[in-house]
Amino acid sequence: MVRAVALIAMLALLCAAAALLLWRRGTNTRERALTGRFVDRQVQTPRPQPVTRPAANATTPKGDIAHARAAFANLMNRAGIERPRALAGTTMTIAASGAVWAEMSAGPVIGAIVAALVLAAVYAWLTWRAQKRQQRIVRQLPPFLDGIVRMIVIGHSVPAAFQAALASAEAPLSECLGRALPMLRTGVEIDHALGAVARMYRVRELELVGSVLRVSVKYGGRSDVMLDRMAAMMRDLEQASRELVALSTETRLSSWVLGLLPILLGAMVIVTNPEYFDAMWSDALGKRLVYVAVALQMLGAWLLYRLARLRT
């Protein structure tokens, strides 16, 4: 009976963690899609041809490990973790300790679920932290562009204005743009440097800034006017994004309530009246009904997630 209760509780927590991850990923994808469509409308430049990748059967374990390490390092950079190895070691220690304790108490299945739950919780926290830092970077870009415009108006060149404005920028924007300085010193063009940083931090606005600065450096023109309009456009885009989030708050809150209510109700019934659930769990048909209920709950959570992220 204790094993059944623990199994149901772990499945409920896993469903809640999966719903949180889906919601965060949907919000991040929606913001990137809106920004990408707006940037594509503003900058009518041909897209580069996709690079031909090797077939799936040509991949090697070393390549997969290198790709996983690069993805892990990228996530740590976007989340602003200064000591990623310490965090990874602590997470693995907690997951292993919880798995061993759960395995000794309720069996190997519960131990595996506990370890997966710990890893999912840490990944959700890192994703949430990276998304918050990305939003802060986007909010800090208009004042940064205003600083570049002021430096250009008083007579500085575009590269000098960029470096002077970067010196007064605040974190995390200063950390983000600071990664472009070594590339600029080695001769990389400013649009390629900012494009690499934009892909690392998933901030599409930096690609547009890099394109404008490169055009100003290579061909000249009124770069101050263009940057001023770009800052105004980013403020308007942020205001529209906030209005969209405010308008969809009721739908998202309703989806959370409808998704978590059956889980909390079932957990309350199991805790307050375990004999009621024990009679159902001891029967073969009752056990099948429990599995069907868990599957329907997961399907309903996915459908509510799709409903909450609908956009015109």
Note whether 110 and 103 are within 8 A (CB). Answer: yes
Q: What is the pLDDT of residue 45?
A: 43
* Eight-class DSSP state of 51: P
The DSSP result for 137-185, as a single string, is HHHHHHHHHHHHHHHHHTT--HHHHHHHHHHTPPTTHHHHHHTHHHHHH
Distances (CA, A) of 248 to 181, 245, 253, 274: 39, 5, 9, 39
Tell me how far apart the alpha carbons of residues 106 and 101 are, in angstroms, rounded to a whole number: 9
Q: Domain segments of the chain: what residues?
A: 140-223, 240-311
Burial of 49 (0-12, 13-18, 19+ CB in 10 A): exposed
Record the tokens describing residue 92, joined without a space: 């693995």
Q: Within a 13 Å sphere around the CA of 216, how many CA atoms are in the beta-carbon half?
A: 24
Q: Which residues contact 298 (CB under 8 A, 6 or more apart)?
A: 15, 18
Query: Which pLDDT score, from 0 to 100, does residue 265 have?
Result: 85
DSSP state of 55: P
Q: Which two tokens stand for residue 47?
A: 């897209």
Which pLDDT belongs to residue 38?
53
Please check whether residue 302 is in contact with residue 29, taking contact to mean a CB–CB distance below 8 angstroms. Answer: no
pLDDT in tens, the chain (312 residues): 555 555 555 565 666 666 666 666 666 666 666 555 654 554 444 444 444 444 444 455 666 677 777 777 888 888 888 888 888 889 899 988 888 887 887 677 777 878 888 888 888 899 889 888 888 888 898 999 898 888 888 888 887 888 888 888 888 888 888 888 888 888 888 888 888 888 888 888 888 888 888 887 777 777 788 888 888 888 888 888 888 778 777 777 887 788 888 888 887 887 788 788 788 888 888 888 888 888 888 888 888 777 766 554
Distance from C-alpha of 114 to C-alpha of 97, rounded to nearest angstrom? 10
Find the helix packing angle between 274-282 and 249-272, rounded to 10°.
Answer: 90
